[in-house]
Amino acid sequence: MTENSPGGPAPGVRTATGLRPAGRRTTTFGVEEEYLLIAADSLRPAPLNSRVLAEARAALGSGPGDLSPELLRSQIEIATPVCRELGEVAGHLGRLRRLVGDAAAAVGCRVAATGAAPEQGPGPVLVTQGVPFDDLSADTPPFIHQHMINGMHVHVGVEDRNLGVQVLNGLRPWLPALTAMAANSPLWNGRDTGFSSWRTVAYGRWPVAGPQPFFRDAGDYQARTAALIEAGVIRGRGQLYWQARLSDRYPTVEVRAMDTQLTAEEAVMFAGLTKALVTTLAEQARRGRKPRSVPQELLSAAVWRGARDGLDTSLPDPETARSAPGAEVVGALMELVAPALEDTGDLDRVAGSVARLLRDGTGAARQRAALEGDGGPAALAELLTAGTGC
């Protein structure tokens, strides 16, 4: 179980009144996280995922959770089982992070919890063999070799795809705030990119990426995504790299806007926020409230700005569409989701973590501070690997 440090509401966050779900609904959810393998004595990527996974799977045995390779051999992914309570997610994330950290140490490398690789190795990037990685490598070789980026995905259950589409529409105005809050990838190829979430920028090079469009209903979603496949732009819906989408494998909305977080407790915070936001938007949709359709170009620009500056910028307030300081928009988000968090008993935990985020800065800010301090690259490596216990 990860540490639980309850606190009061974040500065500027009101313990809101608002739309409370009608009765307590049991909403299932789960988390996927991608990690970077780095050398034991440097920040360089270590292409050892097959060995780390073999070690980790042996330790996991028949225990809950899932471990899998990612696109590049220096990446791995974990997934929690389906959960009903935030404490369950916290326990699984802490356990799986420690498990892969121990496995990496056993084969001579470390697991870094970062949205992008701060350094690249001297040789070519090695792609994990097998479908679908071979297909991706063949389709877009320049992208593949610059794709050493890691995200956090939160799946939240919805009862049908029409409701899921309404939730996707409601999520759109909040994507800039989620991108800014979760920014944890400022470094790339040995230098500061000038962006807080370089991962968001790198993802934008794929054909279907960025904020998802506004859809009329599930039929519209199905038809428009099918048209992309028929046009040969993507091979399947797994290549819809929008910041939020419907899962084809599970009855869930999948929110993909967040970089992998430095610590398990920060990941727990984003899991709780995402679940509460989806729950709130679903209840609004059930009661007939229509989401506001933000023009795609304005939304894309706001996400880009959140990726560049993190919370040190102004963002569009999703309710008023006016520009507001990032901390105020975070406060508005907390006000919206507070009833859902109160309903599940998670408000203190999530609000306390949000308060620490506003006080200590995003992962990107802390990465820069570590690198620029007296410890330099060694201090940065310690920061990136501390959250996986290695």
Domains by residue range for the chain, with CATH: 29-386 (3.30.590.20)
Least confident of 41-55, 132-146, 288-302, 309-323: 132-146
Percentage of the residues of the chain whose pLDDT score is greater than 70: 88
Q: Which pLDDT score, from 0 to 100, does residue 150 have?
A: 97
Q: Which pLDDT score, from 0 to 100, does residue 280 have?
A: 98
Q: Which pLDDT score, from 0 to 100, does residue 8 have?
A: 31
Mean pLDDT of 225-250: 91
Mean pLDDT of 177-206: 95
Neighbouring residues of 361: CB distance < 8 A, sequence distance ≥ 6: 310, 311, 369
Q: Which pLDDT score, from 0 to 100, does residue 6 have?
A: 27
The tokens of 186 are what?
């400022």
**CB of 158 closer than 8 Å to CB of 26:** no
Neighbouring residues of 242: CB distance < 8 A, sequence distance ≥ 6: 208, 209, 210, 211, 212, 256
Q: Supply the pTM of this predicted model.
A: 0.90
Q: Which pLDDT score, from 0 to 100, does residue 387 have?
A: 96
Mean pLDDT of 88-111: 98
Which residue type is seen at 159? E
Q: Which pLDDT score, from 0 to 100, does residue 265 have?
A: 98
Burial (0-12, 13-18, 19+ Cβ within 10 Å), 306: buried
Q: Measure CA 295 to chain center.
A: 23
Look at residue 195 and tell me whether its pLDDT is greater than 60.
yes
Query: Could you tell me which residue, 288 or 126, shows the higher pLDDT?
Result: 288
